[in-house]
Structures are given as C-alpha cells and as structure tokens.
Structure 1
Amino acid sequence: MKLNTGIHNPFLPNLQKPESMLHEIYESLLEMSSDISMESLFKTTPFNDFWCRIRDEYPMLGKMALNILLSFPTTYLCETGFSTYAATKTKYRNRLDAEPDMRLQLSSIKPDINQLMKNKKPFHTSH
C-alpha cells in the first residue's frame, strides 16, 4: 500500500502499514480508522478540512497528512500566478504595471458588477 492511500481514505478495510510510515503514525491511523465518529466526519467534511480538524486529536497523523496534501496546491498556485503574469505582461504591454491586473485575475473574489454600477455616481456633461 502507498502512503497516500491511507491519507486519501483512512477507513479502507484491511489497511496495511506502508514501509515508509512510522509505527507510531500507523497506530494512530488504525486507532482513528476504527472510530465510527471519525468515519462519519470524514464522509461529511471536505477532504482538507477533515485533516485540519483532527490535528489536535492525532497530531502526528494530521501533520503527515497535511505535508502530503499541501505540496500540490502551493505548486499549482505558483504556476497559476506565473501563467497569469506571462499572459498579462506581453511584448505589446511591456511597460504595463502588471501587479493590479494580476491581483484582480488571481483573486477568488468575484465582483458584483451590478452593485458597483449602482454605487457609481452618474457622469454629467455640460450642455
């Protein structure tokens, strides 16, 4: 069994100890996998939230799981940021200050355009 299998689903039947896993962590994994309340939490909680929630009760297991899981999102975010920068800063826009555009493009907050337009003061032209 791979180390990641116990992290992706610690409630599989006949969970075997991976060679690279410490004995203490494996015992914590077995203890947690036999806890029915933990299994229901695992089924009803998003994957990463589950591992964050159990860190107090199973600190070594939680730390190991988060170390395995967090390496991928950080690489993804870095690559996404670089791709956005490369797309924004082209040879036609090489003098552009890319930071404000990147901040807007990389933000997970979606603007409410209708509300922004309601708050905008009307532009008056002279007669």
Structure 2
Amino acid sequence: MFQDDVFEELVQYLTSMRASFEKYFPEEQNTKMKLNSWIHNPFLPNLQKPESMSNEIYESLLEMSSDTSMESWFKTTPLNDFWCRIRDEDPMLGKMALNILLPFPTTYLCETGFSTYAATKTKYRNRLDAEPDTAETSAVFYQT
C-alpha cells in the first residue's frame, strides 16, 4: 500500500519533470540543432546544405571543410574562436555561424555586466574600508 503510493508519486513527479524539460528544450530546437550541425563540426563527411544557406556560402563551407590545416586548428581551439577566425577569412560564412552561435549578443553582454555589478553589491562590499588608505595618501601629500 505504502509502496504503491510512493510509486504513484514518483511517476507523477517524473511525468511533470518530462513536461518541464519539453517546455525548455522543445523538439523543434533539436531539429534546428541538427540542421546547424555544420557549425559544431564543419569537417563531418557528407555535409548537407541547410535550407537557409545560400549556394555561395555552402561552397565556402565545402572549401573550408577540405582544408586540413583548418581542421587541425578547429580541433585545438574553442568553437567561438574558430568561427571568429573564419569570419576574418570568409566574412559571410563566419557571420552566419556566429549569428547562430550567439543570437542575442547584447543580452549576453548586458547579463554579464549586471552579474559583475551585482557581485560588487554583496555583503562583502560593506567590509571594504578605503578610509585608512586615503588617510595614508593624504598624509603623504601634506608632508611634501
């Protein structure tokens, strides 16, 4: 009897958790990730052309994917750094990749700045005491 109640409670909890995951990670996002797999590894064999990509950009992607020096550099650098370098060499391809990797750069920069600001407003801020430093500095100025 008790085990049945626990089991039912567990099933209900896991069902609600799954619904929550589906809310935050919808299936269409997984499909979008598969369509943009060229960004995560442009050196995969048999790269398929995404619908949103022009033929010119696709040709640039194919040229880049056949370059062995680029492939070795891709394996040793972070993804964002790699695409920033590609943006310097092939602006259209790099821009397309970076727009997909970082769709809202201003939001990211704003949140990063706010986090830095919030870190200075902690309870530890109250422990900062600049008065002894300014007293020493002002004493040096008055002596000279």
Q: Quickly name the TM-score band, shorter chain normalised.
A: 0.5 to 0.7
The residue that corresponds to 2:75 in the other structure is 43
**Distance in structure 1 (CA, Å) of the matches to 2:111 and 2:88:** 32
If the length of structure 2 is used for normalisation, what is the TM-score? 0.53
* RMSD of aligned Cα (Å): 3.4
Return the structure number with greater relative CO, CA threshold 8 A, min gap 6: 1
More helix by share: 2
Correspondence for 1:34 among 58, 63, 66: 66
User: Aligned with 2:57: secondary structure?
Assistant: helix
The aligned counterpart of 2:52 is 20
In the alignment, which residue of structure 1 is the partner of 2:140? none
The one-character-per-residue Cα deviations of 1:43-94 (angstroms, maximum 9, x if unpaired) are 0011100011122221110111111112255444545667x6xxxxxxxxxx
- Length-normalised TM-score, structure 1: 0.59
Match of 1:9 in 2: 41
Closer/same/farther in 2, CA of residues 14 and 72 from structure 1, 3 Å limit:
same
44 and 75 in structure 1: CA distance in 2 versus 1, 3 angstrom threshold: same
- The alpha-carbon distance between structure 1 residues 43 and 101, as it changes in their structure 2 partners (threshold 3 A), is closer
Alignment-mate amino acid for residue 76 of structure 2: T
The letter of the residue matching 1:27 is E
Query: Does 2:64 correspond to 1:64?
Result: no
Give the ranges of 4+ consecutive aligned residues of structure 1 lying more than 3 Å apart after TM superposition.
Answer: 72-82
Instruction: Name the CA shift for 1:102/1:32 in 2 (closer, same or farther; >3 Å).
Output: same
Greater C-alpha Rg: 2
Q: Which amino acid aligns with 2:73?
A: L
Q: Which residue of 2 aligns with 1:104?
A: 120
Q: Percent identity?
A: 78
Change (3 A) 1:77 1:26: same
